[in-house]
A and B are shown apart, each in its own frame.
Chain A
Amino acid sequence: MIHFQGVSKKYGHDSTALHDVTLDIAHGEFVSVVGQSGSGKTTLVRLLIAEERPSCGNIEVGDWNITKISRHDVPFLRRQIGVIFQDFKLLPKKTVLENVAFAMQVAGETRSRIREVVPRVLDIVGLKQKSERYPYQLSGGEQQRVVIARSLVHRPKILVADEPTGNLDTINTQDIMEILKKINQFGTTVLLVTHNRDIVNQMKRRVIMLCEGEVVSDEARGKYRL
């Protein structure tokens, strides 16, 4: 599903974010990528959604070769990878419903299809009753659930969650993790990037540990060991 082969990313001459990273993630896996700040976790996500290009190496996501992807194809790739960010990245001038619908509108989906799918995903994340609210009228946990709903509308095969619980309290963190587990159970590959020790240990799934841009451990049922 996801294949990194000898991937490095350098910023300038002396700043290396990732160094010779090789890893494979299979379809349906739930993988946590952990590491301290500056270990290269976010760079990994940015490379995956073609926000950045690798300095060297090869990245494949499904049928896409990210290393060679053209600018024209990038939007189409992003419609197939659901991404959840720590800072939510919701459109502030759009309602909950509009934010979720927007991801379908950019893909040229019909109105009837949008009307069918959006309420369903909002129901999954428990926000059907708040569909007409604006992001600033929601709590952090609710905003993150909107982001998850938005990432689900295209039925992505991969869901990348970059520090999804970084701005949330314990209760909201548990809610979000439950939703991510549920999504994974439906067959979606989930890549969780985090430095939250508790949730990684609680998951008891595969853990890839990064340190100074290199993969230092990759365990099938790992724990946060830093």
Chain B
Amino acid sequence: MLVFFRVIKFAWQDMWRNMSLSIMTLLILILMLLSVNTLFVIRVLTNTATTMVKQQIDVSIFFNSTSTPSQISSVVHYVNSFQEVATSTFMDKGQVLAKFRQHYKNNKDIISSLDQLGTNPLGATLIVQTKDPADYQKIITALNAPEYKNIVEAKTFGDTEQAIKKIDSITTQVEHFSFALTIFFGIIAFLIIFNAIRIAIYTQRVEISIKKLVGATNWFVRGPYLVESFIFSVFSVAIAYGLVLVISHFLDIYITATFGQSAFLTSYFQSNILWLVGIQFLVVLVLTMFSSLLAIRRHLKV
């Protein structure tokens, strides 16, 4: 226990007396963590953006104006029976006409033509949203069956099919790019941290050899560096996460205008604090300890 406390004391002493080197190591760790958090932001923003776009896509099923309520009801039940359906909104002929009139209220020609007809030429409409845009095709294919041919007049999915495919393709590419960027940043971060710690330990190689010559065991020499790794990890994660929260607060002003959600990033980083801080702390700790052990190994052979 005495030796353990001494190791902690020496770690603090080393950090304090090598202040510039300690600050440099801490800064590199903070910069790396800010880069990683930038990746988190990119990922969460692209995910939210694509989800929002996907949510705005639906398929409209227009019924023939001659279709009977029982025929329409059977189709609505059939469509709702699909597990892939997230929501469906049914509008009867009257609601469709009211919506149509509201939409074209400034177009006198259309409104007067409608008035001249005297009857409601529009059929009921079912607006369907699926859990995944890829499922729309399944609904459409099902409604192409001969028994629905005279009930369903048209389906709008054909217009949005290309858009959905495009969004799916962009989402996949963004995810691939984001993953590749994470790997790239990870490698860069590892190399930077490994070399920063290696340089820090290299500058103390003479001290390490002296400690060995006066009878210090390998673990007594290694101990302070491992404790320093722990301290660096705690401080760098705490400072970086604090900075991320402050930056998020400023970015939220712009993000709110786009996504319509207030404090979007701040609430993301606050609600996921345990997971995000935990994983970052663990990665930094493993990285710094591994780098320290590897860098110090060659100087211990005295």
Contact = CB atoms under 8 A, between A and B. Distances in A.
Interface of A: 49, 51, 71-72, 75-76, 78-79, 83, 89-93, 102-103, 105-108, 110, 150, 154
Interface stretch (B51-59, B206-214, B236-244, B275-283): B206-214
Interface string B201-242: 000001101111111111010000000000000000000000
A102 B213 contact: no
A89 B210 contact: yes
A110 to B, nearest CB: 7
Contact of A51 (B3, B217, B302): B302
A91 B221 CA distance: 13
A83 B218 CA distance: 19
A87 to B, nearest CB: 9
A110 B215 contact: no
Contact of A75 (B6, B14, B210, B216): B216
A51 B213 contact: yes
Main secondary structure of the interface of B (DSSP, over half): helix
Given A93-B14, A93-B17, A106 B210 contact: no
A31 to B, nearest CB: 21
Contact of B2 (A71, A83, A108): A108
Contacts of B216: 75, 106
A75 B217 contact: yes
A49 B17 contact: no
29 contacts: A51-B213, A51-B302, A71-B218, A75-B216, A75-B220, A76-B215, A78-B215, A79-B214, A83-B213, A89-B210, A89-B213, A91-B207, A92-B207, A93-B13, A93-B14, A93-B207, A102-B211, A102-B214, A103-B215, A105-B6, A106-B211, A106-B215, A106-B216, A106-B217, A107-B215, A108-B3, A110-B2, A150-B214, A154-B215
Contacts of A102: 211, 214
Contacts of B302: 51
Given A75-B215, A78-B215, 11 more contacts: A75-B220, A78-B214, A89-B210, A90-B210, A91-B210, A102-B214, A103-B214, A106-B214, A106-B215, A108-B2, A154-B215
Contacts, number: 49
Nearest to A151: B214
Nearest to B219: A75
A76 B212 CA distance: 11
A123 B158 CA distance: 96
Nearest to A90: B210
A92 B210 CA distance: 10
B74 interface: no
Contacts of A71: 218
Nearest to A107: B215
A79 B18 CA distance: 27
Contacts of A110: 2
Interface string B14-25: 100110000000
Contacts of B212: 75, 78
A78 B212 CA distance: 9
A28 to B, nearest CB: 23
A92 to B, nearest CB: 7
Given A75-B217, A105-B6, A108-B2, A91 B211 contact: yes
Contacts of B214: 78-79, 102-103, 106, 150
